[in-house]
């Protein structure tokens, strides 16, 4: 078969591992040929692609980012977009498409597969919020980077007797904040699934200062709601083509409020895109390659409109419709972990 791959949405450590494994098994096991569209769905619309061979993908599983580059392009919103995609796939004699992306990219994959484009999906996001899969590749790397940053924040916050608020990514899901906050021993962990109770935050910090530890580390997810201001978005940034505002600034808003309410000197740091950069962890390289191997099997089994998922130790697949129906968010089990690890105030 002649198979096309693309990577859409925010990049994520482990994308290259998926590409590597799909191409390797496709060529060695099935005798496939591959091309990679550049810049996500934009590359399909522009008929912009590169050949993918065993030689050109050799060793890429070790690297961060995506050799295919990425964009947030919503084909559904582009007049004539679906026809253009079909025309480009026909011109290039493509038998199947593998789209690596989060819920936005996969909403396009589902739409195209409903319109007769033979396509399958691979879930991708550092946010770990795709329904139906236990873990997305990239999440482990993002948590490792955030944890390392929090470790470093402890010593500088301690030296200066300060509170430091660390803002992490995750949009409306608190997986990164939860995992890095717990691993990094943060004194306060704030997730978007729960509205921030600023008095409780201040009480937790006061506990530290009253019990001989004159500093505090707060981890806050970018999508958290502060009752005083709601979700904090970057007002200067345009909505993306899927209508999402850029979430950024809750850390700074929270730091100001903490300082005002407690009198403790407070700083904030936004980890931003460092969480998506650099090489993937061993776990993400392995998971990505397993997703890639399954994706090429899905193509040969003609599982159109389906997406690879991790269930326990198994890689299997579900419909894209189920995967994007809602976001997977933290629940009571994780709120309990956070609460049980907090100071008793
Ligand atoms: O969905 C992944 C993610 O990294 C979110 O955590 C974050 O809000 C968003 O992408 C940032 O997007 P961009 O790279 O377009 O600024």
Measured from the Cα of 240, ligand 1's closest atom is 15
Topology of domain 140-275, CATH: Rossmann fold (3.40.50)
- In degrees, to the nearest 5, what angle opens at C-alpha 302 toward C-alphas 301 and 306? 105
Contact 10, 242 (CB under 8 A): no
Q: Same CATH topology for 2-137+278-323 and 140-275?
A: yes
With 90 as the cut, is the pLDDT of residue 238 above it? no
pLDDT at 233: 82
Active site residues: 127
pLDDT at 232: 83
Distance of CA 36 from the midpoint of ligand 1 (Å):
23
- With a 6 A CB cut-off, is 170 part of the ligand 1 pocket? yes
Measured from the Cα of 276, ligand 1's closest atom is 4
For residue 239, count CB atoms less than 10 angstroms from its CB and return exposed for 0-12, middle for 13-18, buried for 19 or more.
exposed
- With a 6 A CB cut-off, is 125 part of the ligand 1 pocket? yes
Distance of CA 10 from the midpoint of ligand 1 (Å):
6
pLDDT at 168: 98
With 90 as the cut, is the pLDDT of residue 55 above it? yes
pTM beyond 0.95: the answer is yes
Measured from the Cα of 275, ligand 1's closest atom is 4
pLDDT at 103: 93
Which phi and psi angles does 31 have, rounded to 5°? Answer: 70, 30
- With a 6 A CB cut-off, is 247 part of the ligand 1 pocket? yes
Distance of CA 272 from the midpoint of ligand 1 (Å):
8
**Helices of type H across 301-344:** 320-324, 332-341
pLDDT at 239: 85
Q: What is the mean pLDDT of residues 66-93?
A: 95
CATH of 2-137+278-323, one of 3.40.50.2300, 3.40.50.450, 3.40.50.300, 1.20.1250.20: 3.40.50.450
- With a 6 A CB cut-off, is 276 part of the ligand 1 pocket? yes
pLDDT at 289: 98
Mean pLDDT of the chain: 96
DSSP 8-state code for residue 231? E
Neighbours of 173 (CB within 10 A): 23
Instruction: Tell which residue, 335, 329, 331, has the closest CA to residue 128.
Output: 329
Neighbours of 29 (CB within 10 A): 12
Confidence of residue 100 (pLDDT cuts 50, 70, 90): very high
Ligand 1, atom 10, lies closest to the CA of 10
Going by DSSP bridges, is the β-strand pair 2-7/33-37 parallel, antiparallel, or unpaired? parallel
In tens, the pLDDT along 290-343 reads: 999 999 999 999 999 999 999 999 999 999 999 999 999 999 999 999 999 999
In tens, the pLDDT along 240-288 reads: 888 888 888 999 999 999 999 999 999 999 999 999 999 999 999 999 9
- With a 6 A CB cut-off, is 10 part of the ligand 1 pocket? yes
| Domain spans, the chain | 2-137+278-323, 140-275
In tens, the pLDDT along 142-196 reads: 999 999 999 999 999 999 999 999 999 999 999 999 999 999 999 999 999 999 9
Q: Which residues pair with 225 in a beta bridge?
A: 231
High-pLDDT (> 90) share of the chain, %? 93
């Amino acid at each position: 078969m002649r198979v096309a791959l693309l990577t859409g949405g925010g990049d994520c450590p482990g994308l290259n591992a998926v590409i590597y494994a799909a191409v390797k098994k496709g060529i060695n096991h099935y005798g496939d040929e591959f091309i990679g569209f550049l810049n996500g769905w934009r590359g399909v619309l522009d008929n912009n692609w590169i050949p993918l061979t065993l030689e050109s993908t050799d060793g890429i599983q070790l690297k961060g980012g995506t050799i295919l580059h990425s964009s947030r392009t919503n084909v559904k919103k582009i007049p004539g977009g679906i026809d253009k995609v079909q025309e480009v796939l026909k011109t290039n004699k493509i038998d199947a498409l593998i789209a690596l992306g989060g819920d936005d990219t996969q909403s396009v994959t589902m739409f195209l597969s409903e319109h007769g484009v033979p396509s399958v999906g691979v879930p991708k996001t550092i946010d770990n919020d795709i329904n139906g899969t236990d873990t997305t590749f990239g999440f482990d790397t993002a948590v490792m980077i955030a944890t390392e940053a929090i470790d470093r924040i402890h010593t500088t916050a301690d030296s200066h007797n300060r509170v430091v608020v660390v803002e992490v990514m995750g949009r409306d899901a608190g997986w990164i904040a939860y995992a890095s906050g717990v691993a990094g021993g943060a004194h306060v962990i704030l997730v978007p699934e729960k509205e921030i109770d600023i008095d409780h935050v201040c009480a937790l910090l006061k506990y530290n200062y009253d019990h001989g530890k004159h500093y505090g580390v707060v981890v806050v997810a970018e999508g958290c709601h502060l009752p005083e201001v709601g979700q904090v978005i970057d007002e200067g940034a345009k909505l993306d083509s899927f209508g999402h505002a850029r979430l950024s600034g809750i850390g700074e808003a929270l730091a100001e409020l903490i300082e005002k309410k407690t009198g403790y000197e407070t700083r904030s740091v936004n980890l931003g895109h460092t969480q998506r950069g650099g090489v993937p962890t061993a776990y993400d390289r392995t998971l990505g390659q397993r997703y890639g191997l399954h994706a090429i099997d899905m193509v040969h089994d003609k599982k159109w409109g389906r997406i690879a998922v991790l269930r326990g130790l198994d890689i299997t697949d579900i419909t894209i419709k189920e995967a994007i129906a809602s976001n997977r968010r933290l629940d009571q089990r994780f709120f309990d972990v956070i609460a049980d690890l907090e100071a008793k105030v």
